[in-house]
Chain A
Amino acid sequence: MNRFHTGFKKSMPVLAGIVLAAAIAASAHAQAPIRIGASVSQTGSFANLGQNQLRGFQLCIKEANDRGGVLGRKLQLAFEDDRSQAADAVAVYEKLLGQEKVDLVFSPYSSPLTEAVANVTEKHRMSMVGAGAATTSIFKKGRKYIFMLLSPAEVYLEGLIDLASKRGLKTLAILYEDTLFPKAIAQGTIELAKRRGMNVVVAEAYPAKTKDFAPLIKKVKAANPDVVAAATYFDDAIAITRQLKAADINPKMHAVTVGGDLPKFHELLGGDAEFVYGASQWLPELVTLRAGGLIPIARQYPGAAEFVAAHQKEFPDAGLSYHTAQGYAACQILLEGVKRAGSLDRDRIRDAILKLDTHTAYGAFRVDSDGFQTAHKMVLFQWQDGKKVIVWPEELAADRPRFPTPPWGKR
Chain B
Amino acid sequence: MLSMRGDLIRAFGTLVTVAILSSTAAAAQPTKPFRIGVLNEAWAANHPAVEGLRAGLRELGFEEGRDVVYDIRFTQGKPEATPAAAEALVKAGVDLIFTSNEAATRAAKNATRTVPIVFTLVGDPVIGGIVRTIAKPGENLTGVSSLTTELAAKRLELLTLLAPKVRRVWAIHHGDDPSSIAAIWTAEAAAKQLKVEILSRPVYNAEQLKHAVKSIRPGDALLPPEVGTLDIPAALLELSISSRIPAVFATSLYVGHGGLVSYGSDYYAEGAQAARLVAKILRGARAGDLPVEGADRIDLAVNLKTATSLGLAVPRKLLLRADTIRR
Contacts and interface: CB of A to CB of B under 8 A. Distances in A.
B257 A297 contact: yes
17 contacts: A289-B44, A291-B256, A293-B43, A293-B46, A293-B48, A294-B43, A294-B253, A299-B241, A299-B258, A387-B1, A394-B46, A395-B46, A398-B1, A398-B44, A398-B46, A399-B11, A399-B45
B47 interface: yes
Contacts of A395: 46, 256
A196 B34 CA distance: 34
Contacts of B256: 291, 395
Q: Which 8 pairs between the two chains have the least Cβ-Cβ distance?
A: A293-B42, A293-B44, A398-B44, A293-B47, A290-B43, A292-B48, A295-B257, A293-B46
Contacts of B2: 398-399
Interface of B: 1-2, 11-12, 40, 42-48, 51, 74, 228, 233-234, 237-238, 241, 253-254, 256-258, 267
B71 to A, nearest CB: 15
A296 interface: yes
Interface of A: 285, 289-297, 299, 387, 389, 394-395, 397-400
A296 B44 contact: no
Contacts of A294: 42-43, 47-48, 228, 233-234, 253
A400 B253 CA distance: 20
A399 B74 CA distance: 13
Nearest to B1: A387
Given A293-B44, A294-B228, 6 more contacts: A291-B257, A292-B48, A293-B45, A293-B74, A296-B238, A299-B258
A294 B256 CA distance: 12
B234 A295 contact: yes
B42 A295 contact: no
B173 to A, nearest CB: 16
A253 B256 CA distance: 30
A389 B48 CA distance: 19
B222 to A, nearest CB: 15
Contacts, number: 64
A290 B233 CA distance: 13
Contacts of B42: 290, 292-294
A295 B241 contact: no
Given A297-B257, A299-B238, A399-B12, A292 B1 contact: no
Nearest to B40: A293
B246 to A, nearest CB: 18
B47 to A, nearest CB: 4
A380 B210 CA distance: 35
Most buried by A among B44, B51, B238: B44
Contacts of A299: 238, 241, 258
Nearest to A389: B1
Contacts of A295: 234, 237, 253-254, 257
B302 to A, nearest CB: 17
Contacts of A289: 44
Contacts of A290: 42-44, 234
Given A297-B257, A389-B1, A399-B12, A292 B234 contact: no
A410 B2 CA distance: 24
A336 to B, nearest CB: 19
A318 to B, nearest CB: 21
Interface centre among B42, B256, B257 (most CB of A within 10 A): B257
Nearest to B42: A293
Contacts of B44: 289-290, 293, 398
A328 to B, nearest CB: 23
Contacts of A387: 1
A177 B42 CA distance: 43
A313 to B, nearest CB: 22
Contacts of B47: 292-294
A95 to B, nearest CB: 44
B241 A291 contact: no
Contacts of A292: 42, 46-48, 253, 267
A240 B258 CA distance: 42
A395 B46 CA distance: 8
B20 to A, nearest CB: 22
A295 B45 CA distance: 13
